[in-house]
Chain A
Amino acid sequence: GDSVTQMEGPVTLSEEAFLTINCTYTATGYPSLFWYVQYPGEGLQLLLKATKADDKGSNKGFEATYRKETTSFHLEKGSVQVSDSAVYFCAPPNFGNEKLTFGTGTRLTIIP
């Protein structure tokens, strides 16, 4: 079956630093992955999705590209801001009739 392995945190970075959060996904079907973000005091919300080789998902300056050689969809951002402080989850796609599982979540703290 499909499995998701997410880099555990917490991760602390200075403002404007480069961010990478790792997520490795082994899929029995079509490779795609979702990244969700949970800001303090809120529920999870979809950040972006990335599908198949060389297709890049992007939103709010974040990007995730599928890398076939490592079956990974790492989340990246070139210059983080304090407002990016949150918990980030990766998850395989759900098509309405499956249990939706998430990675362990990575807590990101950005220091001014």
Chain B
Amino acid sequence: DSGVTQTPKHLITATGQRVTLRCSPRSGDLSVYWYQQSLDQGLQFLIQYYNGEERAKGNILERFSAQQFPDLHSELNLSSLELGDSALYFCASNPGGNTIYFGEGSWLTVV
């Protein structure tokens, strides 16, 4: 158990819909990262937050957004969903050192 909790574990939704994925980092970890993993694209970095502020942005679509709340949990919002958004979405947290801890991921299936 990495200490990073993601919900929901599985989600099936229709095209055009909007979903929110939630991540609770390890206790005290200030950095939260979001990744998308699909079969054809591999592991893609989406965005990083540090203590509530956006720190780095990767290949995140405009239809996607994220935020980190004062209690350090984070949410990834995916809107106007397309079939190609079906993937495993990972959250990871970092205590400030150089080891990253990953959650078990949220499986999103868009039908």
* A and B assemble together: yes
What residues make up the interface of A, taking CB atoms closer than 8 Å to B? 34, 36, 41-46, 49, 89, 93-102, 104-105
Question: Which of B4, B31, B43 lies in contact with A96, CB distance below 8 A?
Answer: B31
**CA of A111 to CA of B97 in the docked complex: distance in angstroms?**
37
Chosen A-B contacts, 28 in total, with CB atoms closer than 8 Å, are A34-B99, A41-B104, A42-B104, A43-B2, A43-B4, A43-B90, A43-B92, A44-B92, A44-B100, A45-B2, A46-B99, A93-B98, A94-B98, A94-B100, A95-B96, A95-B97, A96-B50, A96-B94, A96-B95, A97-B31, A99-B45, A100-B33, A100-B45, A100-B48, A102-B42, A104-B42, A105-B42, A105-B43
Q: Which B-chain residue is minimally distant from A95 (CB atoms)? A: B98
Asked if residues A97 and B104 are in contact (CB atoms below 8 Å), the reply is no
Interface size class of B (residues with CB under 8 A): 20 to 34
Within 8 Å by CB of B100, from A41, A42, A100, lies A100
B55 CB within 8 Å of chain A: yes
A98 CA / B95 CA spacing, docked (Å): 13
Beta-carbon nearest neighbor of A93 in chain B:
B98
B residues near A97, Cβ cutoff 8 Å: 31, 50, 55
Q: Which 8 A-B pairs have the closest CB atoms?
A: A43-B102, A99-B56, A93-B98, A44-B102, A96-B96, A43-B104, A102-B43, A96-B94
The total of interchain contacts (Cβ-Cβ below 8 angstroms) comes to 65
How long is the Cα–Cα vector from A36 to B101 in the complex, in angstroms? 10
Q: Which residues of B contact A (CB under 8 A)?
A: 2, 4, 30-31, 33, 42-43, 45, 48, 50, 55-58, 90, 92, 94-105
Bound-complex Cα distance A89 to B55 (A): 23
State the Cβ distance, B85 to closest chain A Cβ, in Å: 19
Tell me, rounded to whole Å, the shortest Cβ–Cβ distance linking B48 to chain A: 6
Chain B nearest Cβ from A2, distance in angstroms? 13
